[in-house]
Amino acid sequence: MDLSKIRNVVVLGPSGSGKTSLVDALVFGAGAHTERGSIEHGNTTTDFDEEEIRRHHSIGTAWANVSHDGYELNFIDTPGKGDFQVDMRFGLWAGDAAVLVMDATRGVDATSKKVFKLAHDRGMPLMIVINKVHAEKFTDYAELVKTIKEHLTLNATPFVLPHGLGLDFKGVVGLVNPQNVPGDVAGEVEKASTSLVETVAELDEALMNKYFEAGALASDEVMTNLRKGVISGSIVPIFCCEAKENLGVKEILAAIEDYLPAPADRAPLEIKDLDSDQTTTWKSDSAQPAGAFVFKTISDPFVGKISIFRVFSGEFKQDDQLRNANRNATERLGKIFKMVGKKQVPTDKLMAGEIGAIAKLKETLTGDTLVAGGRNFALEHGAMVPSIFSVSIAPKAKGEETKLAEALRRLEEEDPSLSHSAEAGTHRTVLSGQGQTHLDVTIDRLKNRFHLDVAVFEPKIPYRETVQGKAEGQGRHKKQTGGRGQFGDCSLRIEPLARGEGFKFVDEIKGGVIPNSYIPAVEKGVREMCEEGILAGYPIVDVQVAVYFGSYHPVDSSEMAFKIAAHLAMKKIFPEAKPVILEPILGVIATVPEESVGDTMSDLNTRRAHVEGMDGGTIRCHMPMAELAGFLQALKSITKGQGSAEATFSHYQEVPPNIQQKLVEEARKEHEEELAAK
């Protein structure tokens, strides 16, 4: 394969902009299919998952490999919904360039800005495609181009003009060496074509002088320098189309081949040597040792786990042994294949710059690096975003807890942005993801793929208890029931530690009033009460507890007796030490359309959020975790689905007194109901 003929293109954009339809049209235009697919009929190339077909939108990254005019084209179709942004972020690592698709009637929205910035920050050349130009509401192409320049990049430059707008859209006219120009747009095309040539001339002083002297540039000079400008980022081409009707698509296909970079046109990729903690580079060269990055994992019902990877250096062949430094494991490659959506096409080997897939790697997951020669190299991808939305689930049928755990493990192999944990105080599982849609899809997959029906509950907020003051007191356990009795006696002191310091136990016993052999039992009793909670049943943190006095009986004392004595002492002193409940506070970054900033700020003010700054449509704030779910739902409504939020844990802080009182009352009521049930 001539590596200069490879094009790896990541297709980005908001949900509903027509990314999947455009990829399907490009695949059809390249001759890989004899018929067009459609979202409505559930037969597009890259939306083949049963949940995607049912929901009519992408929920995972998919890959289509096609050949056309001597080029190998890899289209990486990424999901547009914020709930599936981690999949999109991993998909970025497969590409050398990005195509940003936007809906002509919606223009530059918050998601467009976000994904443009992600690709730009990775140094990727970009192409902008305005889709759905045939929509009745679309009437001003020039105004949309102006908006793109204002909100995305001044380097955005039309490479085509639409012939007709809205329902009158008939196709596009190219501005590079325009031919067969319809008379009704001839003047406009001539003006725009001249402007494009001037943009090319401005890239190079010698070219500019030549243009001024001759008044024109040769078409091959224009194309060569346009490509240089696109690869450097000095020019961001704008195209327009109606993907569903194949109008304007062939011009996009040609532009991908003519102007976007081959793998070798990109700068070497930095990777980390885990042995030396130094960085080195991957050069796109098949003569170098093999190195690849796994950007997607698919769970195929027939083949099993499929790992899709981008080869950055060297070559990959069946039976090669590669090192996975992320998992400290060695993998042997089986049969290698390429994919057109879900269709698998076997291949003998893969060279630097190509994309491939392999089944049944034992340890390797999305985000892992594979290298030859036993080297411990790993790509620091930064694709993961913390999961901020959670539900609590439990199987509806008894005895299916193990089945649920295994199903979640397999789903997490496929989707690293999913996670689960045990919920404290219940037998439920906390399922965490990127948003409500993400969790809904996961629950539907549990039912449809694994035949698991689960009940869904609001998850418990991980509140904590602590103290603001000091207190001390005695716990004494004495019981005589005939024969050997029980006796334990300890005096404890509790005081606060700095926030985040956890728990500290101190032995201040002198003179052997409590034998050393019973001190661990006292500590265990204290720790048990800290885990159980006293004020409202939440774990106790950031406290120091000291045992400073006590007594024992040479016959009746035991470890159990001293543990119970510690329980009693803690129950006595904790309420006297000014107890408070702490709540988790999250750092939240919300990205919204600028017209929605005011309403978003108003909503934040009702949720005890502390806004720390704004930059256009980006709002940074701190917010109680208890308010996050409501905010995410409100954000979806306020922004009509265009807003997104990222959240990370920040710190714990005291809840307001009225909320603390409510939590204590709820805990007391729950305790009374449990006693009544017994």
Output the DSSP codes for 346-379: E-SEEETT-EEEEE--SS--TT-EEESTT--EE-
Angle at 294 between CA 402 and CA 314, to 5 degrees: 145
Q: Which residues of 203-224 are buried (b: 16+ CB within 10 A; e: fewer)?
A: eeeebeebbeeeeebeeebbbe
pLDDT of residue 678: 67
In CATH, what is the architecture of 389-457? 2-Layer Sandwich (3.30)
Question: Taking the domain 280-373, which CATH number applies?
Answer: 2.40.30.10
Closest CA to 443 of 428, 453, 432, 433: 453
- How confident is the prediction for the chain on average, in pLDDT? 92
Residue with tokens 């005939």: 482
For residue range 155-180, list pLDDT tens digits in order.
999 999 999 999 999 999 999 989 89
| Helix then strand then coil, % of the chain, to nearest 5 | 35, 30, 35
The torsion angle over the Cα atoms of residues 399, 403, 404 and 406, rounded to 10 degrees, is 150
> What 3-state class would DSSP assign to 425?
coil
Going by their DSSP bridges, the two strands 618-624 and 610-615 should be labelled as antiparallel
**Is CATH 3.30.70.240 correct for 582-658?**
yes
CA distance 180 to 162: 14
Closest CA to 319 of 334, 338, 303: 334
Contact 101, 13 (CB under 8 A): yes
Contact 394, 402 (CB under 8 A): no
CA distance 330 to 425: 40
Domain boundaries, the chain: 3-177+235-265, 280-373, 389-457, 464-577, 582-658
Going by their DSSP bridges, the two strands 618-624 and 543-551 should be labelled as unpaired
Residue 244 contacts by C-beta under 8 Å, 6 or more apart in sequence? Answer: 18, 21, 25, 38
Topology agreement, domain 389-457 and domain 582-658: yes
Residue with tokens 């024109």: 216
Chunked into runs of 10 residues, the chain (678 residues) has average pLDDT values of: 92 93 95 85 84 84 94 95 89 96 91 92 95 92 95 95 94 93 94 94 90 87 94 96 96 97 92 86 88 92 88 93 91 94 92 95 94 86 81 93 94 91 82 87 93 90 94 94 86 96 95 96 97 92 97 94 97 97 91 91 96 88 92 90 81 94 91 78
For residue range 407-459, list pLDDT tens digits in order.
999 999 999 999 998 887 678 999 988 888 889 999 999 999 999 999 999 88
CATH superfamily entry for domain 3-177+235-265: P-loop containing nucleotide triphosphate hydrolases (3.40.50.300)
Q: 464-577 belongs to which CATH class?
A: alpha beta
- Counting runs of H as helices and runs of E as strands, what totals does the chain give? 16, 35
